[in-house]
Amino acid sequence: MQGRLISRRSMIAGSAAAVALMSTGVLSMQDWLTSKAHAEEASKPSGEEVFASTCNACSSKCGMFVHVRDGKLWKLVGNKDHPYSKGMLCPRGHGSAQIVYSEDRLTSPMKRNEDGSFSAISWDQAYKEIGDKLKGIVAKSGPESVSIITDPRPIGQYYSQRFINALGSPNYYTHNATCNGSLAAGYTVTFGTNNFSADVSNAKVVVFLGRSYADGIRPSAAKNLADAAEKGTKIVIVDPRYNNSAVFASQWIPINPGTDLALLLAISHVLVKEKLYDKDFVTTNSIGFDEWAPELEQYTPKWAAEITGIDAKVIETLAKDLGTAGHAGVIEQSWRAAFGCQHQNSYETARCVAAVNALLGNYNHKGGAGLYPTAKLGKLDETKFPKIPEITIKKVGLAEYPLQSSGQGIVNIVAAKAKEGKMKAAFFYHSNAIKCYGNPKDWQEGMEAMDLTVCIDVQMSETAQLCDYVLAECSYLERLELPQILGGKQNMMDGRFKALEIMHPDTLPGDEIFVGLAKASGIGEYFNFTIDELVKAQVKSMELDIDELAKKGVLKIGEAWDKAGEPVTFATPSTKFEFAASKIAGMMDKMVMHKPTIAWIPPKVTPKEGEFRLIGGKQSIHSHTMTTSIEALMNITKEYNLERIWIPAAKAKELGISEGDTVEVSNELYSGKVKAHVTERLNPTCVWIPTHYGGSSSYLKQGYQFGIPHMEFVPFDFEPDVGPPMTHEVIVTVKKVSA
Nearer CB in complex with another protein: 28/658: 28
> What is the smallest separation between the CB atom of 124 and another protein, expressed in angstroms?
15
Tell me how far apart the alpha carbons of residues 332 and 211 are, in angstroms, rounded to a whole number.
Answer: 8
Nearer CB in complex with another protein: 403/460: 460
Cα–chain center distance at 186: 18
Q: Is the CB of residue 267 less than 8 Å from the CB of residue 315?
A: yes
Query: Near another protein by CB under 8 A, which window of 147-155, 271-279, 569-577, 695-703?
Result: 695-703
How many residues contact another protein, by CB under 8 A?
Answer: 67
String of contacts with another protein for each residue 475-514, x by CB under 8 A: ----------------------------xxxx--------
- Contact set for another protein, span 614-653 (CB under 8 A): 631-632
Tell me how far apart the alpha carbons of residues 393 and 395 are, in angstroms, rounded to a whole number.
Answer: 7
Which residues does 11 contact at the CB level (< 8 Å), separation at least 6?
none
**By CB under 8 A, residue 701 contacts another protein:** yes
Nearer CB in complex with another protein: 27/139: 27
**By CB under 8 A, residue 50 contacts another protein:** no
The angle, 0 to 180 degrees and rounded to 10, between the axes of the packed helices 312-325 and 346-360 is 50
Within 568-624, strands assigned E span 577-578, 612-617
Nearer CB in complex with another protein: 113/738: 113
> What one-letter code names the amino acid at 354?
A
| Burial tier of 283 (Cβ tally within 10 Å: 0-12, 13-18, 19+) | exposed
> What is the smallest separation between the CB atom of 462 and another protein, expressed in angstroms?
13
- Contact set for another protein, span 113-152 (CB under 8 A): 117-121
**By CB under 8 A, residue 313 contacts another protein:** no
**By CB under 8 A, residue 738 contacts another protein:** no
Query: Near another protein by CB under 8 A, which window of 102-110, 152-160, 317-325, 557-565?
Result: 102-110
> What is the smallest separation between the CB atom of 33 and another protein, expressed in angstroms?
5
Within 242-385, strands assigned E span 251-253, 286-287, 329-331, 369-370
> What is the smallest separation between the CB atom of 28 and another protein, expressed in angstroms?
5
Query: Near another protein by CB under 8 A, which window of 99-107, 306-314, 398-406, 529-537?
Result: 99-107
CA 45, 47, 52, 54 dihedral sign is negative
> What is the smallest separation between the CB atom of 694 and another protein, expressed in angstroms?
17
> What is the smallest separation between the CB atom of 244 and another protein, expressed in angstroms?
20
**By CB under 8 A, residue 17 contacts another protein:** no
Strands 731-738 and 662-666: antiparallel
**By CB under 8 A, residue 112 contacts another protein:** no
Q: Is the CB of residue 210 less than 8 Å from the CB of residue 239?
A: yes
Q: What's phi and psi for 443, nearest 5 deg?
A: -65, -40
3-class DSSP assignment, residue 435: helix
Nearer CB in complex with another protein: 72/394: 72
Measured CA distances, 53 to 66, 70, 482, 498 (Å) = 7, 18, 11, 8
Tell me how far apart the alpha carbons of residues 254 and 431 are, in angstroms, rounded to a whole number.
Answer: 33
Length of the chain (residues): 739
**By CB under 8 A, residue 28 contacts another protein:** yes
String of contacts with another protein for each residue 522-541, x by CB under 8 A: --------------------
CA 374, 378, 379, 381 dihedral sign is negative
Q: Report the residue from 55, 58, 76, 319 that binds another protein according to the rule CB under 8 A.
A: 76
**By CB under 8 A, residue 98 contacts another protein:** yes
Task: Label residues 38-73 b or e (16+ Cβ within 10 Å = b).
Answer: eeeeeeeeeeeeebbbbbbbbbbbbbbbbebeeeeb
DSSP state of 156: I
**By CB under 8 A, residue 472 contacts another protein:** yes
**By CB under 8 A, residue 380 contacts another protein:** no
**By CB under 8 A, residue 43 contacts another protein:** no
| Angle ∠(228,264,369) on CA atoms, nearest 5 | 45
Nearer CB in complex with another protein: 404/623: 623
Residues that bind another protein (CB under 8 A): 1-9, 11-12, 18-30, 32-33, 36-37, 40, 67, 70, 72-76, 91, 94-95, 97-98, 101-108, 110, 117-121, 459-460, 472, 503-506, 631-632, 698-699, 701
